[in-house]
Amino acid sequence: MDLGLRGRKAIITGATRGIGRRIADLLASEGCDIAFCARKAEQVAETARDMERHRVQIHGSVVHVRDAEAYKAWLEGAAETLGGCDIFIPNVSAGGGMEGEKSWYRNFEIDLMGTVRGCEALMPALEESDGGAIVFISTTAAVETFLAPMAYNAIKAALITYAKQLSQTTFRNNVRVNTVSPGPIYFEGGSWEQIRADNERLYNSTVAQQPSGRMGTPEEVARCVAFLASPAASWVNGVNLIVDGGFTKRVQF
Ligand X SMILES: NC(=O)c1ccc[n+]([C@@H]2O[C@H](COP(=O)([O-])OP(=O)(O)OC[C@H]3O[C@@H](n4cnc5c(N)ncnc54)[C@H](OP(=O)(O)O)[C@@H]3O)[C@@H](O)[C@H]2O)c1
Binding stretches for ligand X (CB under 6 A):
13-20, 37-40, 43, 63-66, 91-93, 95, 110, 137, 139, 182, 184-185, 190-192, 218
Tell me the closest approach of the beta carbon of residue 243 to ligand X, in angstroms: 9
* Short-list 59, 65, 82, 60, CA closest to 7: 82
Tell me the closest approach of the beta carbon of residue 144 to ligand X, in angstroms: 12
CA distances from 100 to 106, 135, 151, 175 (A): 10, 29, 9, 37
Tell me the closest approach of the beta carbon of residue 195 to ligand X, in angstroms: 9
CA atoms of 221 and 242, how far apart (whole Å): 9
Return the number of the residue (32 or 38) whose C-beta is nearest ligand X: 38
* Short-list 1, 29, 175, CA closest to 88: 175
Return the number of the residue (40 or 102) whose C-beta is nearest ligand X: 40
Tell me the closest approach of the beta carbon of residue 168 to ligand X, in angstroms: 23
* Short-list 67, 63, 28, CA closest to 48: 28
The dihedral sign for the CA sequence 11, 108, 253, 202: positive
DSSP type of residue 129: S
Tell me the closest approach of the beta carbon of residue 5 to ligand X, in angstroms: 20
Return the number of the residue (54 or 129) whose C-beta is nearest ligand X: 54
Return the number of the residue (174 or 217) whose C-beta is nearest ligand X: 217
Tell me the closest approach of the beta carbon of residue 63 to ligand X, in angstroms: 6
Return the number of the residue (93 or 167) whose C-beta is nearest ligand X: 93
CA atoms of 247 and 242, how far apart (whole Å): 9
- C-beta of residue 176 within 8 angstroms of C-beta of residue 231: no
Long-range contacts of 48-57 (CB under 8 A, 24+ apart): 51/24, 51/25, 54/25, 54/28, 54/29, 56/28, 56/31, 56/32, 57/33, 57/82
Return the number of the residue (169 or 205) whose C-beta is nearest ligand X: 205
